[in-house]
Each structure stands twice: as C-alpha cells, then as structure tokens.
Chain A
Amino acid sequence: MMSACKPDILWSPHHADRYVICDSELSLYRIGAVGTSEAKAGSLPLSEETAATLLAINSDTPYMKCVAWYPKHEPECLLAVGQANGRVVLTSLGQSHNSKCKELMGKEFVPKHARQCNTLAWNPVDSNWLAAGLDKHRADFSVLIWDICSKYSPEAVPAEKLRLSGDAESGMVVTKPLYELGQNDACLSLCWLPRDHQKLLLAGMHRNLAIFDLRNTSQKTFVNTKAIQGVTVDPHFQDRVASFFEGQVAIWDLRKFEKPVFTLPEQPKPLTKVAWCPTRMGLLATLTRDTNVIRLYDMQHAPTPIGDETEPTVIERAVQPCSESTISSFAWHPSAQNRMVVVSPNRAMSDFTVFERISLAWSSTTSLMWACGRHLYDCAEEGGSAAEKDIATKMRERAQSRYGHDTVQVWRNHLLAGGNDPQLRSLWYTLHYILNYSPDLEQRQQGNKQSLIYSGIKNIVKSSSGTTEIRRCWKGSERPADVAQYQSEERSLALRLCGWIGRGPDVDIEPFLKSLEQEGEWERAASVALFNLDIRRAIQILNKGASSEKGDLNLNVVAMALSGYTDEKSSLWREMCSSLRLQLQKPYLCVMFAFLTSEPANYDAVLYESRMAVRDRVAFACMFLNDNQLPRYIDKLTNEMKEAGNLEGILLTGLTKDGVDLMESHVDRTGDVQTASFSMLRGSTAEVVKDPRVQCWIENYRHLLDAWRFWHKRAEFDIHRSKLDPSSKPLAQVFVSCNFCGKSISFSCSAMPHQGRGFSQYGVSGSPTKSKVTSCPGCRKPLPRCALCLMNMGTPVSTCTGTGKSEEKVDLPRDKKLAQFNNWFTWCHNCRHGGHAGHMLSWFRDHSECPVSACTCKCMQLDTTGNLVPSDTV
C-alpha cells in the first residue's frame, strides 16, 4: 500500500478554512490565523501567519486508495473513499447530525470483482452520482457509476460478499451500479465534463482517452495517447483538459480532440499530481516525485485549435513552498487567490501563496506603486532620518527652503540645505570667500587677478612669486622656532580663501579662532593657534573647551601635555608624544602633536591626515611648504578630490574647468544636480557656465523641478539664473498683433517716446494713457472687446493713475502700470474668444462653455496640465 502511506490533501469545497489529509486515516484540519483565540495550543503552524487545528480523525476506512469530497453544501463533510479492494465507502468526518448524512454514512458500493479503485469523481450537477475508476479484471467493466441514494439490492449480491462486508443486515451495501463503462479495460483517471454533466472523460489502460455520454453509452469519442493519468478539466475554460504521463503534461481541447493542443516541457522525474488553479485563469500546477518544487505553467495565451497557429505563450515558474523536505502532495485553496497547502511525506504541512508577477513604477515624487494580481498598492516614503533620505527627497526639501538663492550671505546656503553636510558647508564657504574677496582684488589690480581668485588655490599658488621665508619665534618666547614659514601675497590670498585670515594686509588669525571657539570646535581652534606658533593660546583654548558646557575634561590633559613641549630632539617628551599621539581619537589633537614632533620641513603626518578638513590642510600647507613642495602637494590633493568628487576640493580647483571636472565626479556619485547648478552658476567665466556639462545639469535640475510641479521654484531658478548668466534670458514668447495694422500691440519701452509725442501732436486732451491702452499703439484702432464686459481691452486708466506713486514718477515705463492681473488679456487658443482675465476666471467658475453666444468651446477643459496645481505653493 505504498500510496496509502503518502499523504494526500483535499480542500473542503465549501469551507474555505478546512481540509483533509488522507494517508492511512482521514484527518480534518481547520486553518486559522496564528495567535487568534481559535488557535489552540496544539495547533500546527503552517506559515508565519496561519496554523492548523486538528478537528477530527476517521480511521474507519483502511486501505484507502482515493478520496472524493461530496460537492454539495449539505451534507457537509461527506467523503467517498475508494479502497484497495474496489469498494467505495461513504464516510464522514466530525459532525454527522442531520438525518440525510446518517443515512448515507457507512454505505458501501461493491464491484463484482475485487480490484483496486484508482479514482473517484462526483458528478458536479447530479450529485447522487459517483463515478469510480477501477483496475482491469478480465472482461469486466472498469468504470462504475453509483447512485448513492439507491437501496440495498440483496438478490444481486452473492452471499459470501455480504459476509465479507459484515453489515448486510443494515442494508448499507449496494452492488448494482447505475452505469458500467470501459469493458475489458482499466481506468486510471476520470472526470466529469462541466459543460455537459452527462459526459464523462475516462483515461484507460489501453492508451486512450475516451469521452462517454451516459445517454448513449455505446458511443464514445476517443483518442490514443500515452498521457492517461490525472485527467482534469480547467475550471475556467471548460474545453481545456490536462492529462499526464510520466514527466509530460498534455493539454487538450475537447473541441478538437485528435491530438494535444500542446505539451509542456518534459520533466526528468515522473509527475504525481497536476491541478488547475481554481482562482486564476490558465494556471496549472504540477508536482513530480521526490522534489520540493512545484512547477506552475501560466497559460495566458494558450493557442486554441480554432484560431490561427500562434506560438503558445506559456510562462513556467518554479516555486518552493518549503525548502527542506520534499512534497508529497498539494491542493489549491478553492477561493483564496493562488493559495495552496502542501504536505510532505511526514505529514508536515505548509500554507503558501503563489505570488503573481508584480509590476511596479516609481512616481516622480518617490512613491512606489505596484500591482500584484488584481490589486494595486501605493507605497510612500514617510519620515526617516536625514542620513537615510534619498537625494531626490533632499533636493525637494532644499528647493522648498530656497537653497541656493541666498546671494548676499552665500555661506548661509549650506544652512538652507540642512546644515549637516560638511561638503556642502565647505563648498558654500569657499564660494562665499571667493565672492567676497574678488571685488577687493578687482579694485587694486584692475581685474587681472579677478579671474585668478575664481581659479582656486591650485592656480593661485602656481602663480606665486616672491615668496619669503621667515623664521618666527614661538609667541611669548624669545627662542626662534626651528620651523620655517613662507609668505607671499598669493599665499595670503589662499589663507583668506581658506578662511583663516580676514581682509587686510596683516595676518591676524584671532577672529578666526574666536569664531571657532564660538562654534565649540575647540580642538580645531587649538591646532590652528598652534600652527600659528602660539602654544599659550592653544592651551588657553583647550582649557576653555574643557570647562565649557558638555566639555571634554580630557582637553585639560592634552593642554598639560602640550605645555611640556620642548624642541630638543632626543627628549622623552618627544619620544612619547610621537608614539602616543596615534592613539588619540580626535584628528585635530593628533595633528597638533604630529606638528610638534615632526622633523623640520616634513609634515606628512599633518598633510595626509584625511580626517582633517581640506581647508585646514591647505592653509597649513600654504604656511609651511616651500615653493617646490606646495604645488606638488596641492596638485596631489586636487586630483584626490576630483577622483572622489569631494566638494571640499572646490577650494583648490575654484570655479574653473577643473572645478567642473570635480563637480562632474560629484554628480556622478550623488546625482545632486541642484548643488551643481547653483554653484556653477557662480562661475564668472563663460568657460564654466557655458560648459555643456553645466548646461546639462541646469537642464536636468529644471526638468526635476517641472516633474515635481515646483513651477514657481523653477521660475525663481530661471530668474536667479538670468541674473548670473544674462545670456540665458529667454526671448519674448507671445506677441499679440493688431487686427487692423498687424503690428504688435505691446507697449514696449522703445516704442513709447515716439507715441507719446504722437498723441500730444494730435492734441488729445487729458492723460495720453487713457486713449492709448484701449487702442492699438500702431494705428490707434480700438482693441477687441472683452466677451463679458464688452469693453475694449486695455487697463482702465483710473486704476493706474489712482496711486500717488505713478504720478510722481511720470517717466516710469508704462507697462509697469498695467500690472493688475485681472486686466490681462486672455483668450482661448481654440475658439479665440477672450477678455479680461478676472472676468474669464469668474465666468468659468460656474460655466464650462465659452461666454460668447453660440460658441460651445469648453475652453477651460482643453488642457489637463493647466488644471494641475503647482505643488510648491502653500
């Protein structure tokens, strides 16, 4: 009884939460959510969300070969069991309260000759009919159709059979089938045809599939094939039948039953079960022996025999419901979409849903929509810390906070960007210094250095000449320090760009130290003081830092260590400091000792401390490297920055082609075209702004703003851009010409003086504007009338001259007076009717058709984008 040991599984046709596992006995389970009150302690987990509870066990029917669940609602839980001896027994699980069920319970249907029962099928319409497929026995029939309501017929049953069954007295044994089919053959599988419930499809041992009509059992249509196992009808397409043989599934169309419509790719192992999905069109699940994979065939467009011959589009998928054990059997859930329960040979069960192919799309505002099966899911990003935020979200937020638009205090832009990005901070400070110091230079040297300051420290130090080497003393000490410092005009300029010193000829770092102290950057301030050879000040800063709020007391210890400085080469202090400094966590503390313990003119430990800000390293290099070393170091650092796309490097490259290269590398990494556009617009030379890459970033940024419907921000950006790059100003886009003379009716400034004279010559009384705005400036014919107020278009004079301001300034360009939007000319580009903007808007608030009589144009609905509101207005 090999097959009896392998559990099979059946879903209840009417209870979506019940199924039966059958091996040597029948066990009824109920499936429920994990953690609900229904789930008892003894429930078996089926998946992360569901568990099964055992409701009933029935072991009355040994030697089970096949089971079929009664298809009607009442009586529920009625099962037909086919046994190894060919008998079919009706049995039930759990509740058998109603009388009809009691009557049927235990009823047996006995064939003439004992042989294995292979398959059972209830008739879907006439549910009293039960078809049983049996093995072959000489010339006997192999398909018996029983009527479960038929009564006991003693004369037909030999006495010994009755004794065997043991309950002849109860009248529960039926031996006379309603129909007998398939003489001299075996039946491996059968099914009723849903299209005509009198028809039965059989698969026989004689290598054929046959359709019998019970109204005339002598006639049959049949086809020879090997695929005679597991015939099953597609519930969604009742002419489609699947059957299998070893590893191959054949799909048949009953309307053209001569050969399979197509066969599925052959599997290496023999198939054990094939089942159509009851909830989804054209999805077939197949299972082979000793495997943990269920193969699904999605027949979205299987060819039909009637249509033309197209290639079948069958999509194969393999799913693994449980990774560890092999699968003994599976069953689709009758109603839940694509859900199935699988059972392993050791009766471990798992609940499993086959997912449909999910299609998905991002919207421009970073929300994700996906479609799974017939459902849509809208998924939006919410919350999240600044570090996790995507650059798209960051750019949207920055656009809202007017990032890049602060043209007076340029450094503040990094605060508008959120103030937590060190690269942006460095970038905007660099731009701030560049813009601050360039006018100074311009005044002094008539512009030849103005471009120099934009070209970054790299070029500044290259042009350096007249460097003087000085040996300064440690402040407060008479002894000369054995460190050489270098000075030149260019180096001072570089220090200014680094932010270490301010305007003016004298080198005073005190304001810079003060500002660092204010921001609580104690270590940095101390090291800057130290680099300026002021140990006392450095110690003072460290002490201050230690005593400040949330101060680090360790700074006092550092100050103590610092105070012991000696420049003796072989001192213990020197030895200890140079080895212990590597254990300091803070980079600026580390470089302080590196500086003090370094050999003369060898500051690699400071210069290559990558945790130190680039501007401090550069400033340090400008003070302590000679004319040979400095350009080499700066070049090296510049290349490093360009490679990494680090915006701190803009200090070195300036707004030059080099800077564009660096920015390109930054954009390649981050996609931050916003910063790229705003910072590169600051470039003074056409070389930078006209660089195709810069133009490309600007276009991409404008495109982003448009896609986000940040139209106001886009317009503001365009204004900002045209101020910095006048060539980007667009030309006038709309001209309105007079109906009579064909000239433009715009009151452009150039045309005005002439016209003013013209009017006065003709001696038009009163204000010249009065007659002008309602008529064409060229030919003085009246302008068209507003469709609503029927007045000629043009601003009523009273609204403009009423303000005192315009009377004072008579020379004000006239177009400024026509400012009120309600008086604007508007017209529909479709029907060409129009009028005052205010009148038109109020009309279309209540109407959909044009106000001009007999015009049915739906002017306001013509443009869908026009109905969208910009998303950057509050």
Chain B
Amino acid sequence: MFVARSIAADHKDLIHDVSYDFHGRRMATCSSDQSVKVWDKSDSGEWHCTASWKTHSGSVWRVTWAHPEFGQVLASCSFDRTAAVWEEIVGESNDKQRGLSHWIKRTTLVDSRTSVTDVKFAPKHMGLVLATCSADGVVRIYEAPDVMNLSQWSLQHEISCKLSCSCISWNPSSSRAHPPMISVGSDDNNVTYSGKVQIYEYNENTRKYAKAETLMTVTDPVHDIAFAPNLGRSFHVLAIATKDVRIFKLVPLRRDSTTSSGPTKFEVQLLAQFDSHNSQVWRVSWNITSTLLASSGDDGCVRLWKANYMDNWKCTGILRGDGSPVNGSSVQGLALNTPGSSGAPTPQNSVAGAASAGRYEAQLILRMADFIER
C-alpha cells in the first residue's frame, strides 16, 4: 500500500523534473519558471525548500545530482540551449542557520545550438562525467578532469544521433565486464525513421563511443528512457516511455577474445509492453533494486509495475496524478474537499519558510490491475 502526501512546491509554472540525491534526503525540482529548487528532508520526514534560484533563461527541463563523493553538485539543462553545473557552497554566510543553502554556478556548457533536453551524470566509477543531449540530435559527454575544480569541463565526446534527442540514460553497472554505455531516446515525430532508441558503448581501444544497438521496434516518439540499476545482474534492463511502457532486456553475448575490438553484441528481448496509459507515456523510473518501475502517462496516472519470479511484469498499483483516489478504490472521497484538490491558487509563500507542510493526506489503496500478457 502506498500513501500519497501533497507538498506545496511553490513553483510558478510547470515542474518538469524531480530528482533525488544518492541518499534520498535531498531533492531538486526544476520548472518552466526557469528556477531550480533544492529540498531537504527534516528528521520528521517533511520536505523543506532550502534553496531556490533562477538557473536559466528558459524552461528548465531536467535537473540531476552528482554522487555525493564529488560534493553537493547539481546539473540542469534548459531550453536556453545551455546546461549548467551548480555547487552548494558553505561557510560564507549564515544561511545554514536560517535553513537555507547557497548554490553557485560553476560552469555553463554552451556547445549546443538548440534546446538541451536532458542532462545526466555518469556512474561515479567513471569519474565526474556529465552527458547532455539536445534537440539537434547530439549527445555530448563532458568530463571534469580535476574533481576539485568544477569550473573546468572538457568536451570529451560528441555523438551525432541524427534524430532529435529527448532523453538519455547511463548504464549504472559498475561491473568491469560492462564498458560505459549510454542510451539515447528520440522524440522525432516521424514514424518512418525507426529505431528511436540508440545505445552507445565506449570502446577502450578506439577511446570513442560507438553504436552498439538500435531498438528498431521503437518507432514512436520516446519521451523518457531509464536503465535499471544493474545490482550485479548479468544483463541490462531498459525501460522506455513512448506511446506505451516498454521494458527491454539486453543480454550481452559472451564474446571471444579475438573479436573484442567491436562493440558488445546484445540479445535484445522485449520483456513487457503496456498500453494501459492509453496514450503517451511521459516518464519511467526504477527503484534502487530495479524490481519496481513507475511510469506516468497522459491519463494523469502514475502506475507501478513489478515483475514476478518468472519475469512476468504486471501492474501493482495506480495512483492519480493529483493524489485523488482511483476509481474503484475503497476509500473514495477521502481527499475530495481538501484545499489541494479544489484548484485554488496556492499561496505564494516566501522561499525561505517551511513551504513544505503536507497539506492533506490521501490514502490510496492500490488496485490490482489485470495483468496484460503479451
């Protein structure tokens, strides 16, 4: 059973992305209001906004945390064609006492000539590496050679994907058996260009990223893509948000030592495909053990998916995006006449205060949905 609680986010426009830090105690949100907010979880479990600042001159599409080993570092990307790296600084004011933190821009990455649609830090064993992708179809991989100096980033790789890119995901596996790998999704509307998901792999010999796989069966625009945390498994799992939710399994074929120069070959299996969102699926996200997948879609619902022992995936829960109960729920009407759901404009609190108090709680009993077998 999952319990949903609303938090007054106080963004002035749509929130485009939510991102947790490594420990799950901090959170960053970004919005069309061109700002990023950082939230800290108090010991009592409530979220408090501790920083809010204007980051870009356009909608901020995505925000992401670096591993805490590199400090408190965020990256954001925006319609204004840039990506930026931010670091929390301490010790120069008394902000900490007032429950505020101060973030400064360490660098602006200006190589893209179009909207930067996604930004992701590479897994930490690769060092401090950042990938961006942009609407003109280029994936750029930057590296900070000196992790103590976040203002210097060098553009290491430029991968041209030909199609407008909407999302990227690093393969989080830290196993030495798996070379660095990044997947790219395209939201190009033209269904005649098939293969909206491409997977690139780093080749130790050529020191370049080369295409390892194209998922030709994905022909509709892809809005989000997520590699599952590998957790010592021998294969990779990739979730894709397109006109439905798709889960692919990529099994690396054991290669002979003689042919080790080329990219890894994969046996690609479609594990699951769900169209229960009825239309576009916007986001997919894995939990830490990659045993639960959450997806959101145009039906305004968040759905949770889980696999059983036999790799059969099924829906284990549906939650409505506004926190109200889903039809058929036994606690219907509990959350109806609360301030959060009436659509009344939210009071514009000052940034500093505890703008986070949960305004209402809605108990959502998850409905076991029929398992769709494919």
> Which A positions have Cβ atoms within 8 angstroms of B?
33-36, 48-49, 279-281, 300-301, 310-311, 313, 317-320, 333, 335-337, 339, 353-384, 388, 390-392, 395, 664, 667-671, 673, 676, 692-693, 696-697, 699-700, 703-704, 706-709, 848, 857-858, 861-862, 864-865, 868-869
Contact = CB atoms under 8 A, between A and B. Distances in A.
Contacts of A673: 231-232
Contacts of A319: 279, 298
B102 to A, nearest CB: 11
B288 A355 contact: no
B4 A378 contact: yes
Nearest to B278: A320
B24 A664 contact: no
Interface of B: 1-20, 22-25, 27, 29, 31-32, 43, 47, 58-59, 68, 72, 79, 88, 90-91, 94, 96-97, 114-115, 135, 174-177, 230-235, 278-280, 282-283, 285-292, 294, 296-302, 304, 306, 309, 311, 316, 319, 321-324, 327, 332-333, 336-337, 340, 342-346, 358, 364
A375 B7 contact: yes
Given A336-B343, A377-B6, A383 B90 contact: no
A848 B6 contact: no
Contact of B3 (A372, A379, A864): A379
A-B pairs, 9 with minimum CB distance:
A355-B300, A336-B343, A363-B24, A858-B91, A358-B296, A371-B15, A372-B321, A376-B7, A364-B24
A362 B235 contact: no
A872 to B, nearest CB: 13
Nearest to A663: B232
Contacts of B96: 848, 858, 861
Contacts of A391: 289, 291
Contacts of B17: 359, 371
A359 B296 contact: yes
B343 A868 contact: no
Nearest to B286: A362
Nearest to B117: A313
Nearest to B40: A864
Given A374-B9, A376-B9, A382-B2, A676 B232 contact: yes
Nearest to A318: B279
Contact of A709 (B23, B27, B88, B298): B23
A366 B118 CA distance: 24
Contacts of B13: 281, 374
A125 B32 CA distance: 30
A372 B27 CA distance: 16
Given A359-B282, A377-B6, A700-B230, 19 more contacts: A48-B332, A355-B300, A357-B298, A360-B296, A361-B19, A362-B288, A366-B292, A368-B294, A370-B321, A378-B6, A379-B302, A379-B319, A379-B364, A380-B5, A390-B289, A391-B289, A671-B289, A706-B22, A869-B43
Contacts of A281: 13, 32
28 contacts: A35-B333, A48-B332, A310-B115, A311-B114, A319-B279, A319-B298, A339-B343, A355-B322, A356-B14, A357-B283, A358-B296, A359-B16, A359-B296, A361-B18, A361-B27, A372-B322, A374-B10, A374-B12, A375-B340, A378-B7, A384-B1, A395-B289, A668-B234, A692-B175, A700-B230, A704-B289, A707-B288, A861-B91
Contacts of A301: 58-59, 79, 115
B29 A376 contact: yes
Contacts of B31: 374
Contacts of B340: 375
A377 B29 contact: no
Contacts of B343: 279, 333, 335-337, 339
A217 B304 CA distance: 61
A670 B309 contact: yes
| Residue from A279, A311, A373, A382 with most neighbouring chain B CB atoms (10 Å) | A373
B291 A358 contact: no
A381 to B, nearest CB: 6
B154 to A, nearest CB: 27
Contact of B290 (A36, A360, A671): A671
B283 A376 contact: no
A337 B97 CA distance: 37
Nearest to A388: B316
A708 B5 CA distance: 22
Given A370-B296, A676-B232, A360 B302 contact: yes
Contact of A362 (B20, B91, B114, B298): B20
A261 B247 CA distance: 40
Contacts of B344: 335
B337 A33 contact: yes
A710 to B, nearest CB: 11
Contacts of A336: 342-343
Contacts of A664: 234
Contacts of B299: 355
A355 B289 contact: no
